[in-house]
Structure 1
């Protein structure tokens, strides 16, 4: 079973077993926030991997009032930030961390962020998560579109969830589901809701995101989504590699064009490197499932990101191999769209429309590949999806940004 099919099966199982689950409301606009803690022992669950879920509140500085939900499934520890779009702050298995070291050290409350600041780059003042939701009215670089300033990567990452619930299945494998609702609303402009879900199981080294975007308005509306998934050491190092079944790859801009020959290989921390981005159109299997992998130079440790191209048809590879202090990181980013400003993506057919009262689903699975056997297995799956099909290496960017 592929990672994404496992995700779908897990989601279906979770829904079917909802009536046989322990349910807790952790946060709600109708109730005062209170710390929360529950363990498998308190629930009377006898499992080889004891688990716990904790809700806590941060204080001091720009993180004042931020809520964090910590999930320890007995093998993997996850931290989710309801105050910041239900983003996944970090995940770790033992001493191996999935995440990165941003110069932004606090978990910044959106109340202290001005998205319009820095010419539309204010989003960067809170950017430090493992998984950051981008969208849903737009994604991409800041700039004008139809007379409106679109800020970097939309508002989702800075929308506090208005309700957060925890569901733990009463029967094995005791799936743990953390759900939140985001509302992206503006009079005359947009009426979106996003039902987010993070699912993991006791003892698992994987977690899945299962999000549903709904247009609650009376008119069709453009939308975009991108899942900014960010990794650093120990996966990222000189000689680390990215793998995927690739139909087409192109440089984002002229700077990326200069490194196109080595687009799948990483440098060590490099002063003044800044960043390069590559636009990827992945191949998928007959069900639309695809897989991407980042692994270290030796191929002995990696991470896998699986998704469905019928939901998220394109992929951006962000290589920010600047110094460690500047933020040595790479982004594996499945999306409906690339990272160009929305006005450039309409001609590319990457600004989809969601009808009134319609919903769209986005499902992504993240897995730690803890040894060479796990890395090799995922690479073999990628090779199977590629199935000998050719990769088109487009030498020029899809969009001419020289006049910006």
Structure 2
């Protein structure tokens, strides 16, 4: 009962909305599971931009039992996420474009069918096909064996079925929609980190936001890390597409990436034999600690931008994987508390953060699907303003080695 009350209070705190209708789709505590479910603006007799929200239980193959929630705005975005996979965002579509990519992994793989420790800690890749996956929170980064244990690739949050799912729709126009999920990383003697995720969307808009609150429920301090692994493929990613962001420093993740440092801002078309290149970025921000990064197509009339707070997420990783279309032609913009080095390296370099018992910390991001030249130009102008007179330093030597 106390857990339910705490979740309700926290949801109200992060929601901040007035009168609204709320549906509980999943509650491990109450034994609630709605399964297939749907609501629409027509059913609610709401005027304005039409929308629907639907949960489906998937069947067959490795996705047996996985759930997806699809928020459809007729004049805006269609957002698909998975409560079975840590509220990861699968893909976003709208305005003749999309945010997402085509992975060789086609199913929404149920974590029950993934062994994170396989392939020397790379089992995470067997389910990786999302537009955005939360890499954390107990740890993140490349796998490493330390402290008598294997830290698998990018932690466990993205492969954790959530314990609570709620859908909330504001009664008043423009009827903002909020979808919440509770991720529990609780292990006897090890950790009790819980993250209440919330996606916020106004029907008809070309942007949505995430507001996540991480809380340490243990009686002891605990480390945490998070990388918001946000991925873009075609049609935005193409030969001549560009990555843009205000930054003070960029460096290669490893020696292989050194060969691409001079061309870090532009992309190749699908290229057979291209291994992934990763770059570490120190982003600049405005007076409110806000910054923005974007990938835009060659014609500068399509793109996707991510706004985030550098006090919450102080570093940015650029992942370029312009392999063939079948192999996974994709790039990633990854705001985080850490770079993608193993947790041992991030500890040595003082980027691993810690939460005291009972303490919470929040992460706020806004994603925008840019669908015309004016929107792209506005983002470029904002980036230029934040950059100001600060000269970018291109550091040729990686800041660490695995």
- TM surpasses 0.5: yes
Moved over 2 A (4+): 11-18
Matches within 5 A, 1:39-78: 39-47=40-48, 49-74=49-74, 75-78=76-79
The CA deviation string for residues 349-383 of structure 1, in whole angstroms up to 9 with x for no partner, is 21011111100101111101101110000010001
Cα-to-partner distance string for 1:99-139 (whole Å, 9 max, x where unaligned): 00000000000000000000000000000000101000111
Instruction: Note the C-alpha offset of 1:94.
Output: 4.1
Matching residue of 1:389: 390
Alpha-carbon distance, 1:79 to partner: 0.6
What is the CA–CA distance in structure 2 between the aligned matches of 1:13 and 1:194, rounded to whole Å?
Answer: 14
Matched, 1:214 2:223: no
Q: Which residue of 1 is the match for residue 364 of structure 2?
A: 363
* TM-aligned CA distance change 1:14 to 1:73, over 3 Å: farther
Counterpart of 1:145 in structure 2 is: 146
| SS of aligned partner of 1:334 | strand
**Distance in 2 of aligned mates of 1:374 and 1:281:** 25
Counterpart CA distance in 2 for 1:318 and 1:326 is: 15
Say if 1:14 and 1:175, in contact at 8 Å, map to a contact too: no
CA distance in 2, matches of 1:158, 1:213: 17
Is it true that 1:81 corresponds to 2:82 in the alignment? yes
In the alignment, the residues of structure 2 paired with residue 265 and residue 228 of structure 1 have an alpha-carbon distance, to the nearest angstrom, of: 19
Q: Which residue of 2 is the match for residue 25 of structure 1? A: 24
* Unmatched segments (≥5 aa) in structure 2: 1-10
CA distance in 2, matches of 1:165, 1:400: 42
Structure 2 partner of 1:274 = 275
Q: 2 CA distance for matches of 1:14 and 1:196?
A: 9
Q: Indicate whether 1:248 and 2:217 are aligned.
A: no
1:387: how far off? Answer: 1.2
2:7 aligned partner: none
After superposition, residues 77-226 of structure 1 pair within 5 angstroms as 77-226=78-227
How many residue pairs are counted as aligned between the two chains? 389
Q: After superposition, what is the alpha-carbon deviation per residue over 1:49-98, rounded to whole angstroms, capped at 9, x for unaligned?
A: 20110011000000000111110123100111000000001110043121
Which secondary structure state, in structure 1, belongs to the residue aligned with residue 112 of structure 2? helix
Range with bigger deviation, 33-42 or 351-360: 33-42
Local SS of the residue matching 1:224: strand
Preserved contact between residue 145 and residue 342 of structure 1 (Cα < 8 Å):
no
Mark the runs of 5 or more structure 1 residues left unpaired by the alignment.
1-10
Asked if the contact 1:14/1:169 (under 8 Å) is kept, the reply is: no
1:373 maps onto 2:351 in alignment: no
Give secondary structure in 1 for the equivalent of 2:120. Answer: helix
Shift of 1:178: 0.2
Counterpart CA distance in 1 for 2:13 and 2:225 is: 28
For structure 1, which segment, 184-193 or 347-356, has the greater mean C-alpha deviation from structure 2 after superposition?
A: 347-356
**How far apart, CA to CA, are the structure 2 residues paired with 1:21 and 1:14?**
14
Cα offsets for 1:176-216 (capped at 9, x unmatched):
00001010011111000000000100101111111000000
Root-mean-square deviation (Å): 1.3
Deviations, residues 250-297 of structure 1 (Å, cap 9, x unaligned):
000000001100011101111110210000010001111000010011
Alignment partners' CA distance in 2, 1:64 and 1:277: 34
Does the 8 Å CA contact 2:25/2:32 hold for their aligned counterparts? no
TM-score by length of 1: 0.94
- Aligned equivalent of 2:231: 230
The answer to whether residue 267 in structure 2 is matched with residue 285 in structure 1 is: no
User: Which segment drifts farther, 385-394 or 152-161?
Assistant: 385-394
Residues in 1 aligned to 2:160 and 2:329: alpha-carbon distance in whole angstroms: 26
C-alpha separation in 2, matches of 1:311 and 1:16 = 20
Give the structure-2-normalised TM-score: 0.95
Q: Aligned equivalents of 2:33 and 2:180: distance in 1?
A: 18
Distance 1:319 1:211 in 2: 26
Shift of 1:13: 10
Query: How has the CA–CA distance of structure 1 residues 282 and 152 changed in structure 2, closer, same or farther, with 3 Å as cutoff?
Result: same
Alpha carbons 2:26, 2:32 under 8 Å: kept: yes
CA 1:14/1:312 → structure 2, altered by over 3 Å: closer, same or farther? closer
